Structure 1
Amino acid sequence: MLRLASPVQGKATCPVLPKGKQRSDVERLLPIIRRAFRLSEACALTLLAFIQSTRPSDWTDPTTDPVCHAMQTVMAQRLGLTPRAVRYHEVTLERAGLIAKTTAADGSRGSFAGGQVIQGLSLAPLVARVPQLLIYAAEEEAERLRLFGLRRQCSAARRVLKKALQRLLDRAPKAPEAAELLTVYGRLPRRYDGLDTQDLDALLARLDEAVEKCLTTLEMRHESSGVPEPGFRRSIQATTKDNLESCVASTDEARPAGTPADACSVTAPISAEKSREPQARDFQRGHKPHWLESFTPRKLYAACSEDMRMYLDAAKGSRVLPNELDFVRAAILILPDLGINPSAWDEATEAMGDLAAALALIVIDARRFDPVRPIRSPGGALRSFARLALAGKLNLAGSLIGLVERKKTGVE
């Protein structure tokens, strides 16, 4: 079978790659092609060998097709396969609509009659499919990023819930909400590898509900317990004994009165995780109150940039003011807009904790618009904050005070 490959001079009849794309871009699409057409690994590698046997310029030239002229025996030797296996892969790729086989009756391949007759494996069908494959790749990448973001949000929400539970048990270990929330925490999955986006969305909703209930209970207990104002220095410091440890004890005497036995058993995961989770260092030893006690959500919300407030509005939903988890989630969501690599966020959370990292990001985001010393690289600034926190030299409270005061001055 022969084919007249070259068109009339000056007439463009062959498909070409989208503008700006080269043969190498098609090679990088190979994993997508393999999944989309359910190709075996050996068949996908054979297709790659066919692609690499063509001239790169033919993929962008509308007057010619990219054609692999190599004989089956040559390709078999190159791939470490038998000629029969290569023939089988050719048939598979042809049926999938990725190549067009144009060879002579004796199987010869090449360019004859001054380039007018082309015999070989044409990859023009693959070229025609590239735009759709690029769309498929973009959708797959978006889904991957969404899945990655949901896992990150679930991990952050879990850590916020854990710390809020620790504060609740410290203030009111006999509260009925504490036992209920401990049960919820104990039933959370330890890993998210096997969860799809739908499962992660459901898990995130459960975590949101638990965090909001825990923080609301903490706020009510704080308002009704006669706790001193933030910053008030007590002459006798509170004991460092952890209520969680006493609740894990095996004897009934060690369990706080009024706390169900099954609730105590689920505190074990919280205590056990202390050795596994990265613990944020106490990088500001002069800052003892909780961050949202020193800097109220209302002040922080007002000090945020318009972009950050947009993400906070999305995170808090119908609530009037954002809570601790809302600040963390908004920081995670704004990372792509600021061009910050997720690894920089992980570094910051390990150095200073989720909430402090979110507050640092609020400072960095607002400083992008500083008329005197704007921050040009938010990712570099966040990594710098993390290094300073590890060295015990980060004055995040001072940065937040300056940000709040500047915002108040601007408003007034």
Structure 2
Amino acid sequence: MSVTSLRRAARETVSGLPREFWWLWTSTLVNRLGAFVATFMALYLTLDRGYSASYAGLVASLHGLGGVVSSLGGGVMADRLGRRPTLLVAQASTAVFVALLGFVHDPVAIAAVAFLVGMASNASRPAVQAMMADIVRPEDRVRAFSLNYWAINLGFAVSSMAAGFIAEFSYLAGFLIEAGMTMACAVVVFLKLPESRPAGDAQGGGKGGAEASVGLTAVLRDRRFMGVVGLSFLVALVFQQGSVGLPVAMGRAGFTPADYGVAIAVNGILIVALQIPVTRFIEHRDAKRLLVVSSLLAGYGFGLTAFAGSVGVFALTVCVWTLGEMINAPTQTGLVVRLSPVHGRGRYQGVYSLSWSLAALVAPLMSGAVIDRLGARWLWGMCAAVGMVAAVGYGALMRRLPKEEPVAFAEGAVGAGAAAGERSSEVSTA
């Protein structure tokens, strides 16, 4: 492919999206540039504090439990209070709790603050995804979700490399840097992002309104959607091992935090380099096949980790499951939007986020116990098995998907022209 073709492909990938999307994208990027806790918590507890892998798994699970609590609450808040207030509260609270985590030393206090960090940080996820669905046209959503995911991993590629060396100097500095960057995200939201909630939600869901028809009970009774949530949990359980099982296993094998940082940075670097062309390849392809393939790549990618004995081989296994991640993330997020009624997006995204939060709760307990009692090879074999089960599940569950509904926005809300396709072709450079 020529340079001209590459430039044209890049231009077509980023064109036509609203200005508000790019501010939300910027907030995501800034947040991930400062990421530290989720990536290096296991190393901090086992290497710096001297705790066991099981204790590190317990703390990470409490972090996940906080996410379980806030996933549903964040979704309800996004529908009732609005996307913007939910983001502001979640990001400001996360900054405070992350900073506090760097100063507590008692084991019980560490566990309690980790729970609060998990609760605050995960509360923003349903609001981000619902706002993105609100302000972007249906035909552009897979592209928009891919670009947002690209921002996450651009920040992750930079922060994971830097954090590995920061950890060798001072874990406290890492906590404070993340707190500062997260507060910067809250400032971006406050200054640049108006509310995007659709008209029915903005009216408060009066008697017989749309909001009443998509309460949490209605979401939980949606069998097709809950099947997708269950399969998402299995895939998330595998992907979680990149930040939970992998650092512990590498540490047990004698590798340093910097070694882990180099290996896991491959994940972010590959996504930064390949997410845009991969998105162009998958954008109009069958979602069922994409999800089956991505599940197999995730499971077998982690399964191959059982044979890794050097940083280079660990990095090669990361390449395999990263390809599955690049396919899975935008495809699955776009599928959730397609299955969600317009006035229940916050709740649907909250329940979908719950699958990842539950995985964040279960994965550390599972990985810590398996590594301590059976060894890391058993963990990687289990990942391969779970990936295969998820692939079979997607193949059995997916049928014809419903058409997306047009959106009616509140007067003056962001993206009021989305349903009519009124979008400027100019891209904000902010």
Question: TM-score over 0.5 for the alignment?
Answer: no
- Give the alignment's TM-score, normalised by structure 2: 0.29
Higher helix share: 2
Give the TM-score, by structure 1 length: 0.30
Q: Which has the higher contact order (CA 8 A, sep 6+)?
A: 2
